[in-house]
Structures are given as structure tokens and as C-alpha cells.
Amino acid sequence: MSAGRKFAAWSLFFFACVFVPPAWAQVTFERLLNSAKEPQNWMTYSGDYSGRRFSMLGQINTTTAHTMVAKWVFQTGATGKLETSPLEVDGILYATAQDDRAFALDAHTGRPIWLYQHPLPGDIRPCCGRVNRGLAILGDKVFLGTLDAHVIALDTKTGNVIWDVVAADYQKGYSFTVAPLAVKNLVVIGVSGGEYGVRGFIDAYDAASGERKWRFYTVPGPGEPGHETWEGDSWKIGGAPAWNTGTYDALTNQIFWPTGNPAPSNRGEGRAGDNLYSNTLLALNADTGKMNWYFQFTPHDEHDWDATEVPVIIDSGGKHLIAQANRNGFFYVIDRTSGKLISASAYGKITWSDSKDADGRPVARKEASPTLEGHTVCPGALGTTNFMAPAFDPQTSLFYVTARDQCDIFSTAPQPYEAGHAYYGSAYFPSEEAEPYRGFLKAIDPATGEVKWKFEHTSPTWSGVLATAGGLVFTGDAEGNFIALDAAKGKVLWHFQMGGAVYAAPIAFAVDGKEYVAIAAGSAVYGFGLP
């Protein structure tokens, strides 16, 4: 036996010993709850229930990152924006694409195992592209919310439809773009449609049967607390959608779910009041959907500043906190047991507020309201940040968020509500007088609200951020680059040109003991690793 053959034989032996085939074990709630025990998997939208989008893998680190290579590319065949954040469990990657495609890939090779596409009617009402942000997984099913407001359970091994329920009437503007969150035996999902005057809600479905277990209307009806914050019948079409994935805290058995703009987005006339629970962080009992507390970021919003950004659970110095980098330009830290505001610090260019109330909450200047002729307010309608997923790194204690400095001309005009018809109450325009838009990755210290470092992009990006135990943060840019930076300093360590703009968030996982980082760009999903 030649040395080469001996080596091959030994290799085979070791391979057989070391390579444990995927367990094909079901994803139980206990596994989701204890996701820290299996850092090789990425089982929820944000990687764990805290929303921090942090991977404990460190093979790819500040020393090795510069050697990273593309391992595989999967072309989805879809056109438009890919906003998906994949899941990865036991060697299989699950993700979504435009027009409610879902697919499972061999996470090692990128080869598809199954492909599913939900048949959509021709007259759906997407707000901002025919997008989807990902799946939830529980048991032997993955869960997809669709643009025609269905919630669908697919078999993890085949993509076969197990159940398909209709949550709302898509012809009135209801849709789903969000990645659901699986908690206990429930699939929790929030609706989109703030541009169509929907009445927002968060639903919980039994994962096994698809039966709806609870619904929380984000706009309270008659007799419910908060109803008095709406003028007349405006609550019926009050918006307050819930289109980004919330987080879950086992300590208090609470789901934290953020809500979006009141409708119409750019006109406050006709909906006098704070418009609860628009632009609010809701703390809901996971079993019942009953509200424990709420915190409203932007009362009576007239600038389309959805507060739908991921609320990140942070434990620090014995304090149980929840932090959100809000679209309105402030970084909020809240006590998650009581809902009391601890701090609010500007992390981008803002002109809408120059004072705070007794609780420390930023208060809007009257002059910031949109006018008929239009005037410039910062941030613009896209916000200081938006749906891009942030990350929190417990090693650096820094919160990483994609931010943009852009001001817009906000104008308003009366617009009658028509069911299923876009309902903005006018619109915004790029401000010609303002400086060119600037885009950043910012590292915020939640303890002080201070921006510790920032990395400026060539232009603003819609990419989410991933932090890893390798001392890295990953993000993408509008020009198609995938970038690894030193988490402590913000120095670029590696980059790869993917050939398409990034609107998605990265994840990390490991297969056969090898770390991968995956992200969608253009119309493809990419897997990266060490050579």
C-alpha cells in the first residue's frame, strides 16, 4: 500500500468517525430556546430569540477572514430584491425569494433539495417590492407568510404544503413579508399593509394544525385601552402593521414585537391623537397575546417612520434591557420588565426633535409636520435605519446597525381612503438642496448611546449585519460587496464582489465542523468559508 493510499484509507476512517450524519432531529422549542448549545445552527430569523444576530462560531476570525472564499452560489431565478435571512439546521439551509418562493439547499454545496412557490393572484398589494424576509422552523415544518396574506406550513424534507390558512383579505392591502417567529407551539407573525390603511395585527397559529390561537390588533377597537388615541373612525384604517420579526424572552414569557406607521403615513389630519399602538414596541404574553406593556417611539407619526426595527434583548450589569435603533434616528434602551425608557440617543442626522419629555422620550417639533408645499426634514422617509437587521456582540458590547443620513422633502395632501388602494396622504421627495445621501455601518455603545466607530459606504446600503465570536462583523453594500470588518475598530478585513445589491441579512453556521457565512445579493444566495 503506497503512502498515498494509506493516507486515503486513514482519511476515510477518520471521515467515518468524525462525520456524524445530520441527525434529522426535529426542531423542538427546547432547541430554539437553547440555541446557544448548537452554534453550528441558525434556527430563527435573528439566530436566537434575543434578536442579536450573533454567531458563537469563531473559525472565521480577525486572523483568518482575509482568506475567505466563495464556496457556492445558488441562483433563485427571481428578480427584484432578495430580503431573505436564511435558516440553517443540521446541514440544510432554508430561505425565501421574491413572489413567495421558498427553498431548501444542501448548506455544504448550495445544491437545492426542494423548491416551492406559492401561487399568487395577479392583484396582490405589496408595499415595496414582492419581497419576503424568511421562514421560521418548528418540528418538521417551516413557515412562510405570503404576499396574499396566507400563512403556510411546508414540510422541511419535501417542501410539501402541510397546511395553508388565510389570515386576512389581501385585496384590502393585507400581506405578509416578515419571517415568522416560532415560540412554544405557536407561529407568530405580523402583517404588512401600512400603505393601504389596513388595521394591523399580530397573529399566533398552532404550528401543528394552523389553527389561530390569538390575534393582537395593533390598533385598539372601541372599548379597548388606547382606542381614544384615534379620531373618529380613523382606527378602522389606522395601519400600524407589524412587518418585521420580533424577539422572545423566556425569563418573562414575553414576545417583543415592534409596529409600523399609522395610516395614512404622511398625513396626520383626520387621525388626531397618539395613534396607539403605531410605531410602538409591544410586550405580549406569549401564550395569550395579551399586552403587558408598550412603549411608543413616535406618537402621531407623519413621516412614515415605522418602528419595526428588530428589538434586541440585552442583559447588562444585572439589568434586563431591550434596545432598538429606530427609524426616527434615535437609539432607545428600555427596561424590558417594565417598559420604562432608560435612554434615547440620536445616532444619525435628525431635525425633527430638539427636546425630550419627562420620561426622556424625544418630542417632535411642530414645524416638522409635512406641509402642502413640502419642506425638508431629517431623517427622510426611509429613516436613519429601516428593516435591515442589526447585531449585538456580547464580546465588544457594541450594537451594530446600518444607518443612512438622508433628508427628504415631506409634503402632504388630502387623500380619501379606498379599500385596497395605496393610502399615503401624499409623499416624500429627495431634497435637492440637501447633501448627497450617506450610508454607514455604525457601532453604538448601548450603555452610553455613543457611536464608537462608523464605516462609511460608497452609498447607503440596505444590508443587515452579522456579528461573530471571531471578532468580526459582516455586512453588504449597495454596490454588491460582502464585507468583513473588525468588530472592535471597524477596519475592513475582507471583501467580495457579489454582482448585485444587498437587501438581505447575513447568517453564520457550520457544516462538518467548518464555518460558513451566507448572504443573499442580487438574485442569488452565496455561501462563504475558509479555503
Partner 1 sequence: MIGLRSGTLSVESGRFRSQIPGGHVRQGARAKIVFKFGPGFPERRSRLLSVEFGKFPDGELMSLALARGERITAKFVVSAALPPRLVLAAICSLLLMAATAAADDHNPFAGDPKAAQAGEYEFRINCALCHGLGARGGGRGPDLTRAQKKHAHSDAELFQVISNGIPGTVMPANGTNGQGVGMTDEEIWQIITYIRSVEVKTAASPRGSAAHGRELFYGEANCSLCHMVEGRGGRLGPELTAVGGSRTRAAMIDSVRNPSRRLAWGLTEATKEFPQEYETITVVTADGKKIKGVARNEDNFSVQMIDASEQIYLLEKDKLRSFQKSRESMMPTYTRELLSDQDLDDIVAYLISLGAK
Q: Which parts of this chain interact with partner 1 (CB under 8 A)?
A: 80, 123, 125-130, 173, 195-196, 373-374, 409, 411, 413-416, 418, 420-422, 424, 426-427, 429-430, 432, 436-437, 457-460, 477-481, 483, 492, 495, 497, 501
Match 379606498 to its residue by C-alpha cell.
418
Q: Which is nearer to partner 1, 254 or 411 (CB)?
A: 411
Q: How far is the CB of 527 from partner 1 (least distance, A)?
A: 21
CB of 460 to partner 1, least distance (A): 6
Q: Count how many Cα atoms sit within 13 Å of the Cα of residue 181 in the half-sphere of its side chain.
A: 29
Between 129 and 210, name the residue whose CB sits nearer to partner 1. 129
CB of 143 to partner 1, least distance (A): 24
CB of 524 to partner 1, least distance (A): 17
Measured from the CB atom, the residue of 25 and 492 that comes closer to partner 1 is 492
Query: Smallest distance, Å, CB 318 to partner 1?
Result: 40
Sequence-ordered alpha helix ranges (H) in 205-327: none
Measured CA distances, 4 to 1, 9, 11, 244 (Å): 8, 9, 10, 54
Q: Among residues 127 and 325, whose Cβ is nearest to partner 1?
A: 127
The least CB distance from residue 531 to partner 1, in Å, is: 20
Please state, in angstroms and rounded to a whole number, the distance separating the CA atoms of residues 92 and 315: 31
Closest CA to 260 of 349, 350, 196: 196
304 in catalytic set? yes
The dihedral sign for the CA sequence 310, 405, 304, 332: positive
Whole-angstrom distance, CA of residue 192 vs CA of residue 391: 23
Residue 253 one-letter amino acid = N
Nearer to partner 1, 170 or 295 (CB): 170
DSSP characters for 54-107? Answer: EE---SS-TTTGGG-EEEEEEE----S------EEETTEEEEEETTTEEEEEET
- Candidate list 100, 203, 304, 306, residue with the active-site label: 304
Q: What share of the chain is helix, strand, coil (3-state, %, to 5)?
A: 10, 40, 55
Residue closer to partner 1, measured from CB, 359 or 432: 432
As a whole number of angstroms, the distance between CA 199 and CA 237 comes to 5
For the annotated catalytic residues, the residue numbers are: 304
